[in-house]
Amino acid sequence: MREEKYEFLPTIMNHPVEDRQDRTAENEVFADAPCPCCGYITVPNHGDALAYICPVCLWEVDLFIKSDKEPSDQNHGLTLEQGRKNFERFGAVLSPLRKYCREPRVEEMPR
């Protein structure tokens, strides 16, 4: 009896690819606080969302910075002031990231 040489290799199965665009509201993050950069209501957990990235401006929430002038380790060393200026100018915290941002939704408009 001859043993199969590659018994340990996994079997390849064809499974349909999940359509990433077809997501339900239950998978959405409930936002209830403004982004410190753009001001849109996109941050969950009352703003206490470590490493959460705002989908409108791409600012990564950094709970460790103490002022708007302190460089953020999470955001390429940008200060919050620089991030806000860049958002006004480019629509993102950095101009090359603009293509990954999305427009704010109606429910995300500041109150």
pLDDT tens digits for range 85-96: 999 999 999 999
Range of the domain at 64: 29-108
Query: Looking at the predicted structure, is the pLDDT value of residue 71 above 80?
Result: yes
Higher-pLDDT residue of 82 and 23 is 82
Residue 44 lies in a domain: yes
pTM of the predicted model over 0.85: no
Residue 94 lies in a domain: yes
Residue 1 lies in a domain: no
Residue type, 72: S
In the prediction, which pLDDT does 55 show? 96
Tally of structural domains, the chain: 1
Residue 73 lies in a domain: yes
Residues 57, 62, 68, 72, Cα dihedral to 10°: -90
In the prediction, which pLDDT does 28 show? 62
Across 61-88, average pLDDT:
94
Residue 2 lies in a domain: no
Residue 36 lies in a domain: yes
